[in-house]
Amino acid sequence: MLKLSISKKPLVHDEDGRPWYDTKKGIVESLKSLEGLTRLIGERHSAGYEREERLNEFFILGRYELDTCGNCLKAGGIIPKELLPDIPDILTGDEFWAYIREHNTDKDLMLSFSANGGDLPLPGLKCAHCDTPWEIQDCHDTVVWHTTEVFPLTEFVGKTLHDVKVSYGQRDNAVYMMQPDIIIRNDKYVDLSPKYPNPEYDWEKSIVKNERGWLGEKDGITDDYVIQAGDEGFFNVWEFFHHACNRAYLHQEKERQFRNIFEKAGFKDILMESLPNEYCSCDHCAPWFNVNTEFGTIKIGWRKRVINIDWSAAAETLKACGQLPEKNILSLFEDEGVTKGDAYIHAWGWEKAQEYLSRIYGLLAAAA
């Protein structure tokens, strides 16, 4: 939860007798390393949220605001450091806005700062793509991917859950955290007995006690729990990428995955050309691809939760060569209750996309 100040009275900047994390001198020292910045943010958060200290306001690195409540806010949209590369690394609130007014010619400039969202990498972490350690110089240049993963805990059999957490906590490719309600899974913990032996409502009749075999803290799973054979662990995983690395990663992964389903569908001599995503340009949306095949070009790419398959270019090529099948490609999908048009269809996932491509390949190959 973000803590906000509702006081209309401006806080007079005062450094006399203030703790190190609320003075220019202390913050300057903190900005020498990512470790220092991380400690600074943690100390100010504790001061504001736990001890309810009223803090001074600072703007640091031309990208972050340290507010009076203990929050670290990140600039969004227009970035002061990118607009004014020579902006000092630390300014008080008054100094920051005076600097912006003096050095910026756009008097209607609108700057915004919002909650950091956990996108500051921890010291010791590396970019998940290039394997480069994060430093103070590039800690702002992050794209964060949050996923959940289930890992077998075979190597920890006989050890404690605490040992598991320590081991995963030492990994440098991502942040791994377990959550209290779902920690350990094992087939032997599956319990298919009725959760409601005397059901009062119809919906209660089909519910069992533990269909998937997950246990959490409420079931007595503490750090002292000893890992058993067959145990699996549930983890929240946060990976940090440089923006350029994120684009490279998305390109490589999606090109590999799309090439794989085209080849499994039967297409040969595949050449792939990346395109900007035609649905969304955010950091988490991968590029689309023009896939050149022996029958012409098929455009493909993720459109939110579906894969868009567009064969309009291939149809035009085949028509120009007099090789367009008499049977309309769209007729292959009469039984599919999905979004579709004269020359495109949306597939719900990789398996369906491969199935649709196999149908298309079968028709085109038979007509060749």
Q: What is the pLDDT of residues 101-148, one digit of tens each?
A: 999 877 678 899 988 767 999 999 999 999 999 999 999 999 999 999
Same domain, 205 and 165: yes
Q: Length of the chain in residues, anyone?
A: 368
Q: How many domains in the chain?
A: 3
Inside any domain, residue 121: no
For residue 289, what is the enclosing H or E element? strand 288-293
Residue 6 pLDDT more than 60?
Answer: no
CB–CB of 308/301 below 8 Å? yes
Three-state secondary-structure class, residue 208: strand
Query: Residue 107 is inside which H or E element, if any?
Result: none
Is 51 a member of any domain?
yes
How many CB atoms neighbour CB 339 within 10 A? 12
pLDDT tens digits along 217-271: 999 999 999 999 999 999 999 999 999 999 999 999 999 999 999 999 999 989 9
| Boundary residue ending a domain (95, 115, 135) | 115
Same domain, 98 and 62: yes
The pLDDT mean for the chain works out to 94
Distance CA 251, CA 280 (A): 15
Is residue 230 in a domain? yes
Domain stops at, among 241, 265, 296: 241
The answer to which of 103-117, 184-198, 218-232, 287-301 has the lowest mean pLDDT is 103-117
Instruction: Establish if 137 belongs to a structural domain.
Output: no
CA 318 from centroid of its chain's CA atoms? 40
Res 10: pLDDT: 62
Domain boundary among 217, 241, 265: 241
Could you tell me the two tokens for 134?
């994060």
pTM of the model: 0.87
Q: 125 — phi, psi (to 5°)?
A: -75, 155
Those residues whose C-beta lies under 8 Å from the C-beta of residue 328, and which sit 6 or more positions away, are none
**Sequence-separated (6 or more) residues with CB below 8 Å from residue 66:** 27, 40, 41, 44, 55, 57, 58, 59, 60, 72, 73
Query: 281 with 357, same domain?
Result: yes
Give CA–CA dist 96/93, Å, rounded: 5
Looking at the fold, whether 237 and 261 belong to one and the same domain comes out as: no
pLDDT digits (tens, 9 = 90+) for 66-97: 999 999 999 988 999 999 999 999 999 999 99
- In this prediction, residue 285 carries a pLDDT of 95
Would residue 125 count as lying in a domain? no
Helical H segments across the chain, by residue range? 24-30, 34-49, 80-83, 93-103, 161-169, 243-265, 312-320, 350-367
* Amino acid sitting at position 204: E
Residue 123 in any domain: the answer is no
| Residue 89 within any structural domain of the chain | yes
Q: What is the mean predicted confidence (pLDDT) over 348-366? A: 97
The residue written with tokens 């993720």 in the block is: 302
50-59, 116-125, 164-173, 235-244: the lowest-pLDDT one: 116-125
Instruction: Quote the domain boundaries for residue 162.
Output: 143-241
- Whether 305 is in a domain gets the answer yes
